[in-house]
Amino acid sequence: MGTLRKKGTLTIVVMAALAILPPILLWSGQAFYLDLATRLVILAIAAVSLNLILGYGGMASFGHAAFIGIGAYAVGIPVYHNTYGEFEIIASYSGLFQIALAVGISALFALITGMICLRTKGVYFIMITMAFAQMVFYLFVSLDIYGGDDGLVIDIRSELPLVNLDSPLQLYLLAYGSLVVAMLIVRTITRSQFGMVLQGAKGNNERVVTLGYNTYAYRLTAYVISGAMAGYAGALLGNFTTFISPEMMGWTRSGELMFMVILGGAATTIGPVLGSLVFIVIEEVFSSFTIYWHLPFGIMLIIIVLYVRGGLVGLITGGKKKRGK
């Protein structure tokens, strides 16, 4: 399959497979695999958003799961109040309202924390993003009304025009469409002048600053866009699982998202999607064989980090992209 050596072809093949396979699996009576694909595609949206800052912007956020959590609770909390009363202002079943809330609050959270995080560099950045995520984690743990540690069951899915989220296939198609849009957004951004500055700042910040660009503002903007997209993914995830808990924003979840991006290939269009796909499929396959699946999974992780440079995209297209210090 020498044609796959072109990244564009690879992108089309993967996206086509994701468009065709899950509905076929559903019609052949494999409802569970549609579920798997839905989770995969939703996490891929989050991974694509992380790729914007991690891959293209060099900002390794170790707290990206916080946005997913915020997005999910932005669905769960309005539903909760619309069902059980109190806080009339945010009580609603409307999906448009919930999604606006998810995106808005995620963006706001990204703006506030980003202003502080982006003052730091390297490992300090990794750790301070993790610290803010942990704060949100413990905030929701402490909110007894929404179940605290035990989580919250979403009784009613978001009500949206045209789509019925109670239908697994429609939910999948919405998630898939959203993924395509997310990929297009990131692609457009990275090919614009804005994206050039962002990538330039990753390579050599001083030089871009000397050219007269306020790189801090550029990076903050990218951080906010990325956070908002992950918040949207969270809203979808809440609707998909109909159960949300602080666990969704734990640091291991953020680590998994980073892994998906690196595994697939950072700073490529299809990389994060491919990474999520392989991650979810392998997790599913390994865990169905043995409860000790973390062992082969961990070994695989180490091997990939040690030997596969440039992620799966690099491996498949034969790219020799190296990531040094």
Partner 1 sequence: MDTTLLFIQTLNGIQLGLLLFLVASGLTLVFGILDFVNLAHGSLYMIGAFVAASLTFVTGNFLIAMILALPVTAAVGYVIERTIIRSLYERDHLDQVLGTFGLILVIDTLAHLIWGPEGIAVPLPDWLNGQVELFTGVVVPTYRLLIIATGLAVAAGLFWLVNYTRLGMLIRAGASNRTMVSALGIDIQMLFALVFALGAVLAGLAGMLVAPITEAAIGMGGDIIITAFVVIIIGGIGSMKGAFIAALIVGLIDTLGRSFLDDLFKLVMSTEAAESSAPAVSAMLVYILMALVLAFKPSGLFPPKVR
Partner 2 sequence: MNKTFSAALAATLIAGLSGTAFAQTKEVKIGYVTTLTTGGAAIGKPMETAVNLAVEHMGGKMGDFDIKVIFGDDGFKPETGKQVTDKLVKQDNVDFVAGYIWSNVLLASRKSVLDAGKFLISSNAGPSPVAGKLCNENFFSTSWQNDQNPMAMGEVLNQRGVKSLYVMSPNYAAGKNMVTGLERTFKGEILGKDFTKWPGQLDFSAELAKAKASGAEAIFVFYPGKAGGAFVQQYQQAGLKGVMDLYTVFTIDAVSLPRFQKANFEGVLGSFQTMFWSPDMDNEQNKRFVASYKEKTGQYPPHYAAQAYDTMYLIKSAVEASGGDLKNMDAMRAAMKSASFPSVRGEFTYGNNNMPIQNFYLREVVKDDDGDWTTKIVSTVFEKHQDPYAAECPLK
Q: Which residues bind partner 1 (CB under 8 A)?
A: 54, 60, 62, 116, 119-124, 126-128, 130-132, 134-135, 138-139, 141-144, 148, 251-252, 255, 258-259, 262, 292, 294-295, 297-302, 305-306, 323-325
Residue 294 CB, nearest approach to partner 2 (Å) = 7
Interface with partner 2, residue 165, by CB under 8 A: no
Closer residue to partner 1, CB minimum distance, 113 or 178: 113
Number of residues that bind partner 2 (CB under 8 A): 40
Q: What is the residue type of 231?
A: G
Strands (E), the chain: 152-153, 243-244
- 32 scored as a contact of partner 2 (CB under 8 A): yes
Q: Quick check: 93 and 206 in contact, CB under 8 A?
A: no
The torsion of the CA quartet 112, 114, 115, 120, rounded to 10 degrees, works out to: 140
Backbone dihedral angles phi then psi of residue 170, each to the nearest 5 degrees: -65, -40
CB of 251 to partner 2, least distance (A): 12
The torsion angles phi and psi of 250, rounded to 5 degrees, stand at -65, 160
| 143 touches, from partner 1, partner 2, none (C-beta below 5 to 8 Å by class) | partner 1
Q: Looking at residues 83 to 122 of the shown chain, list those that interact with partner 2 (rule: CB under 8 A).
A: none
Supply the minimum distance, in Å, between the C-beta of residue 117 and partner 1. 8
In DSSP notation, 126-176 reads: HHHHHHHHHHHHHHHHH-GGGTGGG-EE--SPPB-SS-BTTSHHHHHHHHH
Residue from the set 58, 79, 278, 310 that interacts with partner 2 by CB under 8 A: 278
| 278, interface contact from partner 2, partner 1, none, CB < 5-8 Å by kind | partner 2
Q: Is 282 in the site for partner 2 (CB under 8 A)?
A: yes
Whose Cβ is closer to partner 2: residue 29's or residue 122's? 29
* Residue with token string 């609770």: 73
Integer Cα distance of 263 and 271 in angstroms:
8
> What is the footprint of partner 2 within residues 290-319 (CB under 8 A)?
291-292, 294, 312, 315-316, 318
CA–CA distance, 113 with 108 (Å, rounded to integer): 9
Q: Is 134 in the site for partner 2 (CB under 8 A)?
A: no
- If binding is defined by CB under 8 A, does position 281 make contact with partner 2? yes
Output the CA–CA distances (angstroms, integers) from residue 272 to 165, 226, 277, in the order listed: 25, 14, 8
Positions in 233-262 near partner 2 (CB under 8 A): 241-243, 245, 247-248
CB 151 → partner 2: shortest distance, Å? Answer: 5
User: Residue 62 to residues 182, 190, 248, 289: CA-CA distances in angstroms?
Assistant: 20, 22, 14, 30
Are the C-beta atoms of 147 and 245 separated by less than 8 Å?
A: yes
The sign of the torsion formed by the CA atoms of 26, 163, 167, 232 equals: positive
16 or 295, CB closer to partner 1? 295
The interface partner of residue 210, options being partner 1, partner 2, none and the CB cut-off 5 to 8 Å by kind, is none
Residues 213-232 that bind partner 2 (CB under 8 A): none
Stretch touching partner 2 by CB under 8 A, among 21-29, 47-55, 92-100, 113-121: 21-29
C-alpha torsion sign, points 42, 164, 106, 136: negative
Could you list the residues that contact partner 2 (CB under 8 A)?
A: 1, 4, 17, 21, 25, 28-33, 35, 141, 148-151, 153, 241-243, 245, 247-248, 274, 277-278, 281-282, 284-285, 287-288, 291-292, 294, 312, 315-316, 318
